[in-house]
Structure 1
Amino acid sequence: MRFFIFEHQQTPMKKIFALLFFTQIIVSQNLSQYINPMIGTAAMGHTFPGATLAFGMVQLSPDTRIDGSWEGCSGYHYDDAVIYGFSHTHLNGTGCSDYGDIMIMPTMGEPSFNPKEYSSTFSHSNEKATAGFYAVKLDKHNIDVRLTTSTRVGFHEYTFNSDGTANFILDLNHRDKLLYGDIKIIDNKTIEVLRRSEAWAKDQYVYARIEFDKPLNISKVIANQENRNGFYSGTELKLALSKNVKKGETIKVKVSLSPTSYEGAKLNMSEINHWDFNKVKKQAEEIWNQELAKIKVSDNDKNKLTIFYTALYHTMIQPNIAQDIDGKYRGRDNQIHKAEGFDYYSVFSLWDTFRAAHPLYTLIDKKRTADFINTFIKQYEQGGRLPVWELASNETDCMIGYHAVSVIADAMAKGIKGFDYEKAYEAYKHSAMLDHFGLKAYKENGQITIDDEHESVSKTLEYAYDDWCIAQMAQLLNKTDDYTYFIKRSQNWKNVFDWQTGFMRPKKNGGWDKPFDPKEINNNFTEGNSWQYSFFVPQDIQGMIDAYGGKGKFEIKLDKMFNAESKTTGREQVDVTGLIGQYAHGNEPSHHMAYLYNYIGKPEKTTEKVHYILNNFYKNSPDGLIGNEDCGQMSAWYVLSSMGIYQVTPGKDEWETTSPIFKKIIINLENKSQIKINRKNNQKIIPKKTNNKVLEKEHILIPVPVIDAENKSFKNELKFKLLNPKPINFSTYNDLKIYCRIIDENYKNSPFFEYYGDWTLIGRNTKVLAYSEINYNGKFYQSDTISASFIKKPNNYSINLISTYNPQYHAGGADGLVDGIYGTTNWRKGDWQGYQKQNFEAIVDLQSEIDVEHINCNFLQDSRSWIVMPKKVIVLTSKDGATFTEISHEDIAVDPLNYDVFTKKVALKIPKQKTRFIKVIAENYGKFPKGHQAEPYDGDAFIFIDEIEIKP
């Protein structure tokens, strides 16, 4: 073997370390011995322990959960003691529940379709999980189970340890909602199945071919549509196949999957054309060894090796191949297409995986990276836009941003070939120019406010990063005008940065939302709080450091985050875990933060934080993940960081470094070369920073001004003032001015004029528009224009709240219920008041006795968010505010299992009378019933009320 030591000049990693390249790849070792699929199956890892291959279509695993509970998202939780069956699709560490398709369960005796009867207890002591293999004993009927798999075929082996009637229960109503299913009996050893289901993916197709190695008879059927000899269909569909067995007899089952057709499932079955279980198991281990050998680490600590290789294994479970052997796949248009020159994949958790998993793939899986991008392009062509969170040919629109552009930009920056750069650019420019999810306001105003869209701060920040990715590709493709447009958009983070508090902060009605608590988890952020989003400017880290006041102050800010109290306020967010101060390693927005110390010349602090996380938040045990695995992202962080590298800014051909935790690391690349890392050649490197020239001169963005007022509504008059932003990235400036425009019924066409002092609005609805302008070296730069609408209250009523609203859902305070501003079904924008574990009760003071005949109260229901209608609304009146008399009520038939989102006006007609005080009581629904997703959490309902209307 010949090798040479030299400084590598062509590697895509510009800043890593000295490299050793070899001419051959070392012979594969048995690395699969270090895989422990049980890691992450307890606590909140949400992984599954069953058999699968790298990026395979089949994930054959036991299901211990048949509900849609958060802890049961993968179908399995280590704390459970009952198995309901073995299904062929599972999600790896997601925060939403789906899959569990084509469930088979062996039993003995009289077959039953009741899950409580066909399920069985089991013990972890009788359970074994390795790479590509799973085994367990079902206690109820003493059945030994062994499972393995190829890419598209699940292979089962069941040993019945007693004489009697053996059954196989095929329950197509297992877990999620069955939209339609059918079962075709081909012969006494073969059946074909179609399952169309709805859960997170709204319309999922799974075709399956099931083959037994021994003949069986149909013993029981439920089919609520067709039920004839050899064909069964419906939305209630279950089948039992039975056979008399002797003690110790074994029955084997093969199940092939296809997203396209029965023909596809039959073709895919050819992956296993025999009945040798051990052969398939051995092939699965060999395939995993080949995949794991892409990275070889050396250490004497077997636990560390197990944690590392299981993490690498978890990064390779999804995305999943989603085409038949002949290349046919189901597109986003629900039509069948054929992949030409690439493999088509599914399950893209891009909000999570763009951060570390996809950068890892660009290092060890360039071919698959190109395939992923070709898949994105086809989804754009066939579905109208790039994927956000695609699942089984469905766009779930879960999470935020359009982070497919990050994956594409990163691949292009690193020179990865195999996809059409121009078509990719067309696709992600299209995604950036849509009007949904706050993009319309973002494009027009340079920011998203609470008034525009919920999770406004997070969306503004993540759109800005994605726009930077587009700008890089525009520059690469010589699209000058697009580059200028998107590089300016990429600086929109400045519009939600509060230079006074030093936090990314939500805007409302042109100004900062009040009150503000950076620890509060609320609907202005995506699964986090301001602390966890105030460092997300990966595209302009130097600009972010400048915004905080320079390196010294930025270091202090980082230190404060890591050393703050490890407690959040506001909404309970199960994803925010693994807290170090306000850093939350259990969720993705924090994942890059420890590496920010590198940018201010403090790499030792990066090493300290990274090593603490590696050593404390990843363990060789079922609870070994501090948060959701999230389709490989949590583990990809470990894989990269343990090797001493991390990509803070995907889309830039640049890696951050720290000290690795392994003695020796070899990365085997697809071109047969290697990268060798060891502690000596990768110690405390202070990364060389690239100055971001695009943020100078003509490409600079001026932050928008702030319209500062106490409220959006007012009785008689309202004072407001305009605040100028800090002009980030300017070393010197002059003539910083604000221009505004006032529009009301008297001034409808007024021009912009220079703002010169506080204003007082009097007596009418008014709209204020404003922008900032700066003179820099003789050239004028102008911000986007923002606006605020101020509403004169339609009455002079006051209100006394007897119950206490949740601080997150305050609607601007008590007067928010009588201000004439109505909330919509998008309650996350903050216009509703929310009350939990209590009735709503308030007294409206009309200020004088007036004739009243109609009282209307507006409520909202979004049962998935634990918000339901009140059971009863009661109205009482009083002339003195002390003694109240009930004059009307309405009972409401509440359906907490109705998951539609809607508003309802409860209109109460009362005997016409003079009164001054009106008391409104709305009775809370209370605990959710069995079957609701809140039930396992002993969940209490919210009442959401917005406007109380009192009319003569």
Structure 2
Amino acid sequence: MTADARTDPVASVNTFIGSKDDGNTFPGAAVPFGMAHSSPIGAHYAGWRYDDPAIRGFGHFFLSGAGCGEQGGLVSILPTTGLPAVFDHRRYGVAYSHEGEVGRPGYFRVRLGSGITVESTATTRTGVERFTFPDGAVPHVLVNVGQANDKEPVSGSSVRVVDDRTLAGTVTAQAFCGGRPYTTYFTTTFDRPFVRTGNWGGAEGGEGLRGQWVTFAEGPVTAMTAISHVDARGAAGNLAEARGKSFDELRAAAQKLWARELGSVEVDAVGDDRVVFYTALYHVLLQPLTGNDVDGRYRGFDDEVHTADGWTYYEYYSLWDTYRAHNQLLALLRPDRAKDVARSVLAIHEQGGWLPRWAYANQETNTMTGDPVTPFLVDLWRFGALQGLEDRAYAALIQNATEVPPAASQFEGRVGNPSYLANGFVQFDKNFPKKGQDVDPHHGASATLEYALADSSLSIMAQALGHEGDAVALRQRGLNYRVLWDDSVGDRGFTGFPRPKLADGKWLQPFTPQGQDGFHEGTAWQYQWLVQQDVPGLVERMGGAERAAARLDDFFAYADLVADPARTVREKWVVGPYDYYDQFRYNPNNEPDLHAPWMYTLVGQPWKTSAVVRAAQTLFVNAPNGVTGNDDLGTMSAWYVFSALGFYPVTPGTGQFVLHAPRFGRAVVHLESGRDIEISAAGDVVRSDAAGSDAVGDGVAADGVAGDGEVKLRYVKGVELGGVPHERVWVDYEALVGGARLVFELTEDPGEATWGTRPGDAPPSLYAGG
């Protein structure tokens, strides 16, 4: 490993991690929270996959780690040494070599089979490429506006020649997960004049192959593409970020931005450990995406143009995923940015009339189910990101929690509310009409659990803001999981599971806890743990703490895990990224049970949390398949960052971080305030398990298996906070943001790990149980 990779977090990132096996990350250039990117496009539905045989072009917009097909690839540019016979990127795509390929924050490089070297960098609103052609070759560049990634339908496009260096136009493409078409405006300028140009498919029109080719007298050629969702003026204005600067200057500026962002956390790690950690942090900091142009204008959810004056409007919210870990990590590391995120979500409400669930550009896709926006905003409030906006936010949240958007609204909201408010559950109804990708009654049981968790979190905010009546009602609704708890259902020797109910209140027949009916992307086995707001009540329904712990042992295959952690998680936990059903074990590939390892701590066995978390970390490796499941706009990566640091936000609205054994001997979180959170592990510390390679971020071709050889389990023997013994298994948000020093004493003997096992060591519950 080079000295830079040991000390520079930018050099420690490998952007190819997650670009295989449906991790769905993109390897190309971006800046933190950037609107535009520059990354290769292949045949994979997410834009590109590490083993794609050909590169079809370099697109300028992508989502990182999402699961649906429509993830960008817009305004595709490909350099060539000649014009193709057919202007179809499925036919003119070119082979490439992973040898010498580089993927680092703000920079990408690859050599095409044509002999052309392509380098990419970016600013917030532009993607930039430098094309170096073979000696003697005539430089051509194809700008394709009629095709994007393989599953991104383009229904309309246009391209025009502005001058002998500049092209401009539009791409109308399908929004994520079956949303409506939307339009992206672009301006592409080159650093030298082209001597010839031509069009294919016409200058503008509907669906079909369309684009512009340009020919240069000589190379190399640098292309700068700015995008906007507002209008052509916005795209042209956004070019100001790159215009007049060389490629190398832009690359240096991009990597300086990344050095600041990634430098917010320091870890004592080397080799693959260091690469995996900083790449996870990199993926966290890619989104949400900047939504306003350089002049502050953005297109709102009323399809009108608005201006963010003195703040940044952010867009693309995968809330069902990000409310669980990503939101809290961003709020901790970048509170000023979190304030703009909160303000942006409230702008969606103001302009669209309702709060979003999966907001894509300026529309609601109604993807996923439940009520993720409530814990998302409540946690932002709890972390101080809604100061001055509390009443406005609460009014939007209580509307969302008690009403249903009208039929004419693009939002579904909590469409299960009529049954939920009257009967305590969302009915299971496969035939319930939907406005978009999903609807709550199609997954009534899991929607009920999500609503209840959201209501419990909102009750905390209501109480703090003086809404006593609301707080009581919401707190009571937080127990609605009990309405679906059926003590008569048994599986694998355990009795009692959440079970869907039909509209008439009858249980769904037939039913198995391993089946899919009533649960979204999971089963009753995974969703039974989505009751972190009332652990005492859940434990009672499971037959007491001993039986609850035994159920967790079966869920995690704990005995096997202790014997062989890496093998167990891959053979007994992990299934395909979209194989959600017929499962009775922990699924680390998806969100519903991400918090489940910490349920061990909440039922009085914290040492097992540390073992399970450490085993799960083996799924994150320095290889293209190094992310488990879809990264889901940084959610899985945020889970890894928290797990490595030694604390995790388990219960929305509480501001509580539950502690466990950290991965590294030392880590420092540099807060925006100038204060630090220092985390150290004394005693038998787990050091880096592998030395890694010098080729950090340089096209790692091998697939990772366990990534670190023998996995060393360590348990918490004791904790000090600020030099004082800390027996409680959690710390509050306030204890961290004021600056904190956490010291863990670790042991390899679980028999010595008695820390946090007394009844009073667990966080207080909103409910008394029973």
TM range (shorter): 0.7 to 0.9
Question: Is the 1:320–1:347 contact (alpha carbons within 8 Å) kept by the matching residues of 2?
Answer: yes
Q: Give the C-alpha shift of residue 308 in structure 1.
A: 0.3
In the other structure, the counterpart of 2:552 is 558
In the other structure, the counterpart of 1:354 is 323
1:517 to 506, 512, 517: 512
Alpha-carbon distance in structure 2 between the residues aligned to 1:310 and 1:447: 41
Match of 1:124, as an amino acid?
H
Using the aligned pairs only, state the percent identity: 31
Identify if the C-alpha distance between structure 1 residues 127 and 591 changes in structure 2 by more than 3 Å, giving closer, same or farther. Answer: same
In the other structure, the counterpart of 1:469 is 457
Alpha-carbon distance in structure 1 between the residues aligned to 2:663 and 2:137: 55
In the other structure, the counterpart of 1:317 is 286
2:628 to 614, 619, 626: 626
Alpha-carbon distance in structure 1 between the residues aligned to 2:582 and 2:645: 23
Question: Is the 1:442–1:460 contact (alpha carbons within 8 Å) kept by the matching residues of 2?
Answer: yes
Is the aligned partner of 1:155 residue 2:125? no
Is the aligned partner of 1:108 residue 2:81? yes
In the other structure, the counterpart of 1:91 is 63
Task: Report the more deviating stretch, 114-123 or 161-170.
Answer: 161-170
Alpha-carbon distance in structure 2 between the residues aligned to 1:87 and 1:180: 17
Structure 2 unaligned segments of length 5 or more: list them. 1-5, 405-411, 433-440, 490-495, 559-567, 683-742, 746-752
Alpha-carbon distance in structure 2 between the residues aligned to 1:303 and 1:578: 33
2:161 to 185, 190, 193: 185
Match of 1:293, as an amino acid?
G
Q: Give the C-alpha shift of residue 178 in structure 1.
A: 2.6
Secondary structure of the corresponding residue to residue 584 of structure 1:
coil
Q: Deviations over 1:416-470 (max 9, x none)?
A: 3545111111111122223353222112211022246211111000011111122
Alpha-carbon distance in structure 2 between the residues aligned to 1:78 and 1:679: 37
Structure 1 unaligned segments of length 5 or more: list them. 1-27, 66-71, 697-728, 731-952
Question: Is the 2:156–2:206 contact (alpha carbons within 8 Å) kept by the matching residues of 1?
Answer: yes
Match of 2:635, as an amino acid?
Q
Task: Report the more deviating stretch, 588-597 or 114-123.
Answer: 114-123
Q: Give the C-alpha shift of residue 218 in structure 1.
A: 5.2
Question: Is the 2:535–2:765 contact (alpha carbons within 8 Å) kept by the matching residues of 1?
Answer: no
Is the aligned partner of 1:297 residue 2:256? no
Alpha-carbon distance in structure 1 between the residues aligned to 2:337 and 2:518: 35
Secondary structure of the corresponding residue to residue 589 of structure 1:
coil
Match of 1:543, as an amino acid?
G
Match of 1:517, as an amino acid?
T
In the other structure, the counterpart of 1:599 is 602
Question: Is the 1:60–1:88 contact (alpha carbons within 8 Å) kept by the matching residues of 2?
Answer: yes
In the other structure, the counterpart of 1:258 is 228
In the other structure, the counterpart of 2:106 is 132
Q: Deviations over 1:877-913 (max 9, x none)?
A: xxxxxxxxxxxxxxxxxxxxxxxxxxxxxxxxxxxxx
In the other structure, the counterpart of 2:24 is 46
Identify if the C-alpha distance between structure 1 residues 208 and 419 changes in structure 2 by more than 3 Å, giving closer, same or farther. Answer: farther
Q: Deviations over 1:309-339 (max 9, x none)?
A: 0000010111101101121111111111011
Match of 2:57, as an amino acid?
G
Identify if the C-alpha distance between structure 1 residues 55 and 146 changes in structure 2 by more than 3 Å, giving closer, same or farther. Answer: same
Alpha-carbon distance in structure 2 between the residues aligned to 1:634 and 1:438: 28
Matches within 5 A, 1:525-674: 525-563=519-557, 574-576=577-579, 582-614=585-617, 616-674=618-676
Question: Is the 1:156–1:253 contact (alpha carbons within 8 Å) kept by the matching residues of 2?
Answer: yes
Match of 1:264, as an amino acid?
G
Q: Deviations over 1:855-883 (max 9, x none)?
A: xxxxxxxxxxxxxxxxxxxxxxxxxxxxx
Q: Give the C-alpha shift of residue 503 in structure 1.
A: 1.0
Matches within 5 A, 1:919-934: none
Is the aligned partner of 1:63 residue 2:45? no
Q: Give the C-alpha shift of residue 199 in structure 1.
A: 3.9
Q: Deviations over 1:146-179 (max 9, x none)?
A: 1101111111100110434432212212132333
Question: Is the 2:446–2:520 contact (alpha carbons within 8 Å) kept by the matching residues of 1?
Answer: yes
Matches within 5 A, 1:720-799: 729-730=769-770
In the other structure, the counterpart of 1:767 is none
Alpha-carbon distance in structure 1 between the residues aligned to 2:449 and 2:108: 43
Q: Give the C-alpha shift of residue 538 in structure 1.
A: 2.0
Identify if the C-alpha distance between structure 1 residues 315 and 147 changes in structure 2 by more than 3 Å, giving closer, same or farther. Answer: same
Q: Deviations over 1:753-792 (max 9, x none)?
A: xxxxxxxxxxxxxxxxxxxxxxxxxxxxxxxxxxxxxxxx
Is the aligned partner of 1:480 residue 2:464? no
Alpha-carbon distance in structure 1 between the residues aligned to 2:569 and 2:609: 19
Question: Is the 1:252–1:275 contact (alpha carbons within 8 Å) kept by the matching residues of 2?
Answer: no
1:396 to 342, 345, 365: 365
- 4+ long deviations beyond 6 Å: 564-569, 577-581
Q: Which has the larger radius of gyration?
A: 1
Q: Give the C-alpha shift of residue 578 in structure 1.
A: 13
Secondary structure of the corresponding residue to residue 194 of structure 1:
strand
Q: Give the C-alpha shift of residue 205 in structure 1.
A: 2.2
In the other structure, the counterpart of 1:428 is 397
Identify if the C-alpha distance between structure 1 residues 240 and 567 changes in structure 2 by more than 3 Å, giving closer, same or farther. Answer: closer
Match of 1:611, as an amino acid?
R
Match of 2:20, as an amino acid?
A
With normalisation by structure 1, the TM-score equals: 0.66
Identify if the C-alpha distance between structure 1 residues 552 and 119 changes in structure 2 by more than 3 Å, giving closer, same or farther. Answer: same
With normalisation by structure 2, the TM-score equals: 0.81
Alpha-carbon distance in structure 1 between the residues aligned to 2:580 and 2:506: 31
Alpha-carbon distance in structure 2 between the residues aligned to 1:183 and 1:590: 46
1:371 to 310, 315, 340: 340
In the other structure, the counterpart of 1:869 is none
In the other structure, the counterpart of 2:142 is 169
Match of 1:660, as an amino acid?
P
In the other structure, the counterpart of 1:691 is 764
In the other structure, the counterpart of 1:438 is 416
Alpha-carbon distance in structure 2 between the residues aligned to 1:286 and 1:55: 14
Alpha-carbon distance in structure 2 between the residues aligned to 1:260 and 1:355: 31
Alpha-carbon distance in structure 2 between the residues aligned to 1:519 and 1:125: 45
Alpha-carbon distance in structure 1 between the residues aligned to 2:537 and 2:13: 42
In the other structure, the counterpart of 1:896 is none
Identify if the C-alpha distance between structure 1 residues 607 and 580 changes in structure 2 by more than 3 Å, giving closer, same or farther. Answer: farther
Alpha-carbon distance in structure 2 between the residues aligned to 1:492 and 1:568: 35
Secondary structure of the corresponding residue to residue 470 of structure 1:
helix
Question: Is the 1:73–1:94 contact (alpha carbons within 8 Å) kept by the matching residues of 2?
Answer: no
Alpha-carbon distance in structure 1 between the residues aligned to 2:59 and 2:230: 19
In the other structure, the counterpart of 1:774 is none
Is the aligned partner of 1:75 residue 2:75? no
Q: Give the C-alpha shift of residue 481 in structure 1.
A: 1.6
Question: Is the 2:146–2:171 contact (alpha carbons within 8 Å) kept by the matching residues of 1?
Answer: no
Secondary structure of the corresponding residue to residue 592 of structure 2:
helix
Q: Give the C-alpha shift of residue 239 in structure 1.
A: 2.6
Secondary structure of the corresponding residue to residue 672 of structure 2:
coil
Identify if the C-alpha distance between structure 1 residues 416 and 382 changes in structure 2 by more than 3 Å, giving closer, same or farther. Answer: closer
Identify if the C-alpha distance between structure 1 residues 651 and 412 changes in structure 2 by more than 3 Å, giving closer, same or farther. Answer: same
Q: Give the C-alpha shift of residue 560 in structure 1.
A: 1.8
Q: Which has more strand, going by share of residues? A: 1
Alpha-carbon distance in structure 1 between the residues aligned to 2:634 and 2:245: 32
Q: Which has more helix, going by share of residues? A: 2
Identify if the C-alpha distance between structure 1 residues 251 and 623 changes in structure 2 by more than 3 Å, giving closer, same or farther. Answer: same
Question: Is the 1:203–1:394 contact (alpha carbons within 8 Å) kept by the matching residues of 2?
Answer: no
Question: Is the 2:195–2:216 contact (alpha carbons within 8 Å) kept by the matching residues of 1?
Answer: no
In the other structure, the counterpart of 1:741 is none
Q: Give the C-alpha shift of residue 372 in structure 1.
A: 0.9
Secondary structure of the corresponding residue to residue 123 of structure 1:
strand
Q: Give the C-alpha shift of residue 405 in structure 1.
A: 1.6
Question: Is the 1:223–1:235 contact (alpha carbons within 8 Å) kept by the matching residues of 2?
Answer: no
Indicate the structure whose relative CO is greater, using CA pairs within 8 Å and at least 6 residues apart.
2
Q: Give the C-alpha shift of residue 382 in structure 1.
A: 0.8
